[in-house]
Amino acid sequence: MSSNLPITKSSTTALTVAAIGIVYGDIGTSPLYTMQTIFSEEYGLSLTSANILGVVSLIMWGLFVVVALKYVTLILRADNRGEGGIIALMALALESVGKNSRWSYILLLLGLFGAALFYGDGVITPAMSVISAIEGLNVATPSFTNKVVPITVVVLIALYSFQHKGTTGIGNWFGPIMLLWFASLAIMGVVNIVQAPVILEALNPMHAIGFLVQHGWIAFVALGAVVLAFTGAEALYADMGHFGRKPIRIAWFFVVFPALMLNYLGQGGLLMTDPSAVDNPFYHQLGAWSIYPLVALSTVAAVIASQATISGTYSMTKEAISLGLLPRLSIIHTSVKEIGQIYMPMVNWVQLVVVLAAVVGFGSSANLAAAYGIAVTATMLITTILTFFVIHYLWKYNLLVCLFSTGVFFVVDASFFSANALKILHGGWFPLVLGATMFTIMLTWHKGRELVFKNLKTHAIPLKEFLASLFVSPPHRVGGTAVFLRSASEGVPHALLHNLSHNKILHDRVIFLTVHNQEIPWVPFDERVRVIPLGQECYQLDVFYGFKNEPDIPQALELAAAKGLKFEIMETSFFVTRQTIVSRPEHEMSAWREWLFVMMSRTARDAADYYHIPSNRVIEVGSQIEI
């Protein structure tokens, strides 16, 4: 739901509960592993009262500055027609500087790399969340130590195997279950705060500053683990289009933030009274009796957090396809009511393989922690940079105000990123390799499509001139309507030339249909189609889609009726050119990138299927294009 729409009181409550279930699953499961990781042997922090107060204070104020101020207060304002997320922000930043700006290509690369890193995060989140939840069994009995990874693998395979069914029905339980989760976090926190009320001193930011000053390098290194408390902050922005900024803000300030603060304070208080709980402070909060119920609840919460990330990966991929950054892939709608609920088989199974590789390869949440922070902090840093361009160039705020507001967040994000960069050799390379792979794929597809359009434009026969010459001695015309799909740079479609050359005929009515993908989330129905008469019952039909719209040509033809162009689908034939990409000796891309582009183009979903054109009305014509 767009945040620009009016929200009633009842719908606000429903949306807030839903947001708690979907938006806050990732950051909500951070208490499972954050404190355990910070005080692990890797960081060498002694378990003193001063260090506990300093670390908890850092987490408290980090949640306030990074999540509450940066994301909930500032970034949520940067909506692109009601939509959020790194791709929506990139499109907004590009719009703010203009296509001819020297910043345009730099911002495109930043946005693409941020989107690519999201795929790394999408792999680490399910692996980290589920394995952290299952590790609670180690606390109950050491005999489970060798069973954690196999159990995690089984849970993840089950989760990904059910994706094709969608979240309709079960998704309605996400909010109430996560409400129970946050209530449990708060209650456990209060129980342990009562046992050690001195931990409330951590609310004083001087403890955080003192910790950083006193420990210097060790404290800087520890920031790489502290940032684990903020993983999932990007989800607040990415899911804004589904819930609106108001429910997300209400959920944060009234439920999530208080619960997280109480639990981190409680874990700190526990460590003060029982230092032996440092091996897994989360599961020691209520004693031995609570471990198995907590493992069950934690696993469900981790699955919900993972589900949000998996669904986010589908949405991100669909947006990237719409913007021409990835080849067309199969998209299956899992709900007749919610258009945003989709399933992408190839994305699903590839992601599962990589997630399982992460679980088996790293083997524990402690090892995965090193891989987790780098993708998150890099994305946070890119978001801050893009936001500067939006608030200065689009919102026209004073330069000094923009530099100060984003500069503070830039310093914080850069500090966390630098601390995580120290762990590149210890696991941080994993999400960077995933991100670099996706970045290369997207950049290669984007460049390859540019070369294809360049080739089409070079060899294009101007449409109006061709039609003028064609009707000097018109071919025989047959009944029905012919729709020729053509790109904006193609000129006369190859399929039309093929039809005239071989069949010597032209239909009574000829439509040249061009799909325009806009760099905005939504194009309203009344702006979706444009009809341009070309004479002799020939028409140019332009169809416009945003990157959140669902491309649907039959639906577009229905909209064209209001513009005076009515269609009878059973009397309409769709001519589609199937392009075969071949490499030529003069490479404009390196040979391996050309090979990659050719391979992707061959596996891409065909245009007729992607645009929902009835298969029994489609005529395909082959065309060879050199790049």
pLDDT digits (tens, 9 = 90+) for 136-174: 888 877 777 788 999 999 999 999 998 888 766 667 788
Assigned domain for 294 exists: yes
Tell me the backbone φ, ψ of residue 38, rounded to 5 degrees: -60, -40
Give the closest residue to 421 by CA, choosing from 224, 217, 225. Answer: 224
176 and 300 co-located in one domain: yes
> Given this model, what pLDDT does residue 575 score?
92
Spatial distance between the Cα atoms of 33 and 393, rounded to a whole number of angstroms:
40
Alpha helix positions (H), 98-199? 104-134, 136-140, 148-161, 174-195
Counting the structural domains of the chain, the total is: 2
Return the minimum-mean-pLDDT range out of 236-245, 495-504, 516-525. 236-245
> Given this model, what pLDDT does residue 158 score?
93
> Given this model, what pLDDT does residue 414 score?
95
Q: Is pLDDT above 80 for 244?
A: yes
Spatial distance between the Cα atoms of 531 and 549, rounded to a whole number of angstroms:
20
Domain boundary, last residue among 427, 451, 485: 427
Q: Is pLDDT above 80 for 428?
A: yes
Tokens of 612: 């929902």
DSSP string, 503-563: H-EEEEEEEEEEEEE-SSS---GGGSEEEEEEETTEEEEEEEE-TTS---HHHHHHHHGGG
478 and 391 co-located in one domain: no
At 281-312, the pLDDT tens digits run 999 999 888 989 999 999 999 999 898 888 88
Assigned domain for 440 exists: no
Spatial distance between the Cα atoms of 577 and 65, rounded to a whole number of angstroms:
53
When mean pLDDT is compared over 290-294, 313-317, 382-386, the highest value belongs to 382-386
Q: Residue 10 — very low, low, confident or very high, per pLDDT cuts 50/70/90?
A: very low
Spatial distance between the Cα atoms of 535 and 463, rounded to a whole number of angstroms:
12
User: In the predicted model, what is the mean pLDDT of residues 116-140?
Assistant: 89
Give the closest residue to 625 by CA, choosing from 494, 512, 463. Answer: 494
Domain boundary, last residue among 372, 407, 427: 427
* Phi-psi label, residue 85: left if phi above 0, alpha if psi -120 to 50, beta otherwise: left
> Given this model, what pLDDT does residue 122 score?
86
Spatial distance between the Cα atoms of 600 and 445, rounded to a whole number of angstroms:
8
423 and 464 co-located in one domain: no
Mean pLDDT of the chain: 89
3-state secondary structure 474-520: CCEEEEEEEEEECCCCCCCCHHHHHHHHHHCEEEEEEEEEEEEECCC
> Given this model, what pLDDT does residue 585 score?
67
Assigned domain for 452 exists: no
399 and 278 co-located in one domain: yes
Burial class (CB in 10 A: 0-12, 13-18, 19+), 586: exposed
Give the closest residue to 43 by CA, choosing from 369, 288, 316, 284. Answer: 369
Domain that holds residue 503: 460-626
211 and 284 co-located in one domain: yes
Q: Residue 1 — very low, low, confident or very high, per pLDDT cuts 50/70/90?
A: very low
> Considering the chain, what percentage of its residues have pLDDT values greater than 90?
56
Q: Residue 340 — very low, low, confident or very high, per pLDDT cuts 50/70/90?
A: low
Return the minimum-mean-pLDDT range out of 171-180, 233-242, 383-392, 465-474. 233-242
Q: Is pLDDT above 60 for 6?
A: no
Alpha helix positions (H), 162-256? 174-195, 205-215, 217-226, 233-238, 240-243, 245-251
Assigned domain for 266 exists: yes
Assigned domain for 433 exists: no
Listed in order, strand segments (DSSP E) in 13-58 are none
The CATH number of whichever domain residue 250 belongs to comes to 1.20.1740.10
> Given this model, what pLDDT does residue 609 score?
86
Spatial distance between the Cα atoms of 250 and 84, rounded to a whole number of angstroms:
17
Tell me the backbone φ, ψ of residue 398, rounded to 5 degrees: -55, 140
Tell me the backbone φ, ψ of residue 427, rounded to 5 degrees: 130, -20
Q: Specify which residues 513 forms β-bridges with.
A: 485, 541
> Considering the chain, what percentage of its residues have pLDDT values greater than 70?
96
Q: Is pLDDT above 50 for 9?
A: no
421 and 465 co-located in one domain: no
User: In the predicted model, what is the mean pLDDT of residues 471-493?
Assistant: 89
Asked if 282 contacts 35 with a C-beta cutoff of 8 angstroms, the reply is yes
Asked if 536 contacts 570 with a C-beta cutoff of 8 angstroms, the reply is no
Spatial distance between the Cα atoms of 625 and 577, rounded to a whole number of angstroms:
11
213 and 269 co-located in one domain: yes
412 and 466 co-located in one domain: no
User: In the predicted model, what is the mean pLDDT of residues 341-351?
Assistant: 90
> Given this model, what pLDDT does residue 339 score?
55
Listed in order, strand segments (DSSP E) in 353-404 are none
Give the closest residue to 358 by CA, choosing from 254, 421, 430, 291. Answer: 430
Q: Residue 435 — very low, low, confident or very high, per pLDDT cuts 50/70/90?
A: very high
Assigned domain for 443 exists: no
Asked if 493 contacts 463 with a C-beta cutoff of 8 angstroms, the reply is no
Domain boundary, last residue among 380, 402, 427: 427
What's the farthest any 2 CA atoms get from each other in the chain?
95
Which residue is associated with the tokens 């005239």? 500
Q: Is pLDDT above 50 for 527?
A: yes
Residue 332 DSSP code: E
> Given this model, what pLDDT does residue 166 score?
77
Cβ atoms within 10 Å, residue 279:
13
> What radius of gyration do the chain's Cα atoms show?
27
Q: Residue 401 — very low, low, confident or very high, per pLDDT cuts 50/70/90?
A: very high
238 and 146 co-located in one domain: yes
As a whole number of Å, the end-to-end CA separation of the chain is 41
Spatial distance between the Cα atoms of 39 and 53, rounded to a whole number of angstroms:
12
Spatial distance between the Cα atoms of 59 and 138, rounded to a whole number of angstroms:
26
Q: To 10 degrees, the CA torsion angle through 580, 581, 582, 583?
A: 180
Spatial distance between the Cα atoms of 156 and 252, rounded to a whole number of angstroms:
28
Q: Is pLDDT above 90 for 274?
A: yes
